[in-house]
Amino acid sequence: MKAALLKRLFSAVQSGASRDVMSVCKHIVEDERRLGHTSLAEDLQRSIDAAEKKLGNLKKDVSSSHLVSLPSSKRDSAPLVQVLEHEKLRHHMVLSQEVEQRFIRIGKEYAARARLATYGLRARKRILFYGPPGCGKSLGAERLAWSVGLPLYKVRFDTLISSFFGETALNLWRVFDAVQQKPCALFLDECDTIARSRGENNDVGEVSRVVNMLLQLLEDYHADGLVIAATNNYEALDKAIYRRFDEALEMPKPGTHEIARMLKRTLLSLDVEKEVSLDLFSESLDGLSYCEVERIAQNAAKCCVMSNRTIISLSDLQVASQEVKRHS
Ligand SMILES: Nc1ncnc2c1ncn2[C@@H]1O[C@H](COP(=O)(O)OP(=O)(O)O)[C@@H](O)[C@H]1O
Ligand SMILES: [Mg+2]
């Protein structure tokens, strides 16, 4: 083989450019054929054909996947959303009947959106979750997307918010523009990060620019999906933003009935001492969040397993509860 060809081959390999490698390989095949090494040339050609076929399939996969249409920032091409595929979404929750009914109504309206549209009615598509931390706002967004069969596109505020003037609003526009292309549930978790009241911040110009953009984008949102936003800080939200949502759904702390269901659900894989009433114990946990109740149950279960027992005692639960309450 010619030295020049060899050098080209190795430099193409080094640069990782598969197209260059391929072109050098084709030259090699031609050379071998010219030299009369027909069977070797045929063998090598078969390898090239197989590689080209694989490359073609790969290109098809990439262009048909959502990766191509994912929004990214213009400056550094950083992804502006994190995609949670439908089948990976968590959807088991404990909810009060009232909240459960509101979830169901959103799901039903979404399913009937075309029928509603024929009467000039709009299904509830812009949903705001609000309430204290640890009460299922983020989990609720997953459940809602799951229940209507959509993937969840979670906005990444770490890449969306830019220190360059005007770029945060532009990034927000890019996100909303991209989600019109594929049905999905767009999720703005802790949306007060960008939707806080105009005028209360020293960075007034940029804040109102972003809030105005969000107002406009919510107003113009007619895509075949959902926009879900969540906040712990309802008061800090710009009031105009709040009015743009079709439904503001409060996710409150659990009542004793929900606490008991949460405990039973988390302790399912172990037995609890017969004398212990989880319903009674739930009353002592009134005021805690779902997340804290879940942690108490998990810690009690772990304590039991780690001391080689299979039956949870009242003391396991009480110790776990005191520990979590101390930190709440
Ligand atoms: N209603 C609920 N049902 C079941 N688990 C819940 C519920 N709410 C919260 N959790 C548990 O607490 C964790 C934190 O909840 P999360 O949805 O992140 O709260 P928030 O977004 O309101 O701060 C969840 O991952 C889940 O394990
Ligand atoms: Mg959350």
User: pLDDT for 271-306, tens place per residue?
Assistant: 999 999 999 999 999 999 999 999 999 999 999 999
Is the model's pLDDT at 148 over the cut of 70?
Answer: yes
Pairing between β-strand 152-155 and β-strand 81-84 as defined by DSSP bridges? antiparallel
Do residues 153 and 188 both lie within one domain? yes
Residue 221 · residue 126 · CB < 8 Å: yes
In whole angstroms, what is the distance from residue 214 CA to residue 316 CA? Answer: 48
107-121, 190-204, 310-324: range with lowest mean pLDDT: 190-204
Ligand 1, atom 8: nearest CA belongs to which residue?
Answer: 136
Residue 29 · residue 45 · CB < 8 Å: yes
Q: How confident is the model at residue 325 (pLDDT cuts 50, 70, 90)?
A: very high
User: For residue 147, how far is its CA from the centre of ligand 2 (angstroms)?
Assistant: 19
State the average pLDDT for the chain.
Answer: 88
Ligand 1 proximal residues by C-beta, below 6 Å: 93-95, 133-139, 230, 251, 290-291, 294
Ligand 1, atom 11: nearest CA belongs to which residue?
Answer: 291
Q: How confident is the model at residue 13 (pLDDT cuts 50, 70, 90)?
A: low
Q: How confident is the model at residue 137 (pLDDT cuts 50, 70, 90)?
A: very high
Residue 266 phi, psi dihedral angles, 5° rounding: -75, -30
In whole angstroms, what is the distance from residue 271 CA to residue 144 CA? Answer: 32
Element (H, E) at 228: strand 226-231
Do residues 117 and 195 both lie within one domain? yes
Do residues 179 and 301 both lie within one domain? no
CB atoms near residue 205 (< 10 Å): 10
Do residues 78 and 169 both lie within one domain? yes
Provide the domain count of the chain. 3
Q: What is the mean predicted confidence (pLDDT) over 5-13?
A: 66
Residue 243 · residue 195 · CB < 8 Å: no
For residue 264, what is the domain's CATH number? 1.10.8.60
Do residues 125 and 171 both lie within one domain? yes
pLDDT for residue 10: 67
Which of 65-69, 99-103, 165-169, 189-193 has maximum average pLDDT?
A: 99-103
Q: Please, which residues bridge with residue 32 across strands? A: none
Kindly state the greatest CA–CA separation across the chain: 91
Out of 64, 80, 100, a domain closes at 64
Do residues 97 and 218 both lie within one domain? yes
- What is the radius of gyration, based on Cα positions, of the chain? 28
Do residues 77 and 214 both lie within one domain? yes
For residue 165, what is the domain's CATH number? 3.40.50.300
pLDDT for residue 65: 45
Is the model's pLDDT at 56 over the cut of 50?
Answer: yes
User: For residue 238, how far is its CA from the centre of ligand 2 (angstroms)?
Assistant: 19
For ligand 1, what atom is nearest to the CA of residue 95?
1
In whole angstroms, what is the distance from residue 1 CA to residue 187 CA? Answer: 58
Q: How confident is the model at residue 17 (pLDDT cuts 50, 70, 90)?
A: low
Do residues 164 and 218 both lie within one domain? yes
Structure-model confidence comparison of residues 298 and 236, the more confident one = 298
Count of CA atoms in the C-beta half-sphere (13 A) of 158: 4
Do residues 12 and 116 both lie within one domain? no
Q: How confident is the model at residue 324 (pLDDT cuts 50, 70, 90)?
A: very high
Residue 113 · residue 123 · CB < 8 Å: yes
Is the model's pLDDT at 94 over the cut of 90?
Answer: yes
Domain extent, residue 14, equals: 3-64
Q: How confident is the model at residue 50 (pLDDT cuts 50, 70, 90)?
A: confident
Positions of E strands within 29-180: 81-84, 126-130, 152-155
Do residues 192 and 54 both lie within one domain? no
pLDDT per residue over 165-200, tens digit each? 888 999 999 999 999 888 999 999 999 888 877 665
Is the model's pLDDT at 61 over the cut of 60?
Answer: no
Hey, which of 142, 259, 291, 295 would you mutate to test ligand 1's pocket, going by the most ligand atoms within 8 Å of its Cβ?
291
Hey, which of 91, 249, 261, 294 would you mutate to test ligand 1's pocket, going by the most ligand atoms within 8 Å of its Cβ?
294
In whole angstroms, what is the distance from residue 290 CA to residue 133 CA? Answer: 9
pLDDT for residue 256: 97
Out of 44, 64, 84, a domain closes at 64
User: For residue 3, how far is its CA from the centre of ligand 2 (angstroms)?
Assistant: 62
Q: Which residues contact 263 (CB under 8 A, 6 or more apart)?
A: 278, 281, 282, 293, 296, 297
Do residues 209 and 77 both lie within one domain? yes
Out of 14, 44, 64, a domain closes at 64
pLDDT for residue 19: 58
Residues above pLDDT 90, as percent of the chain? 62
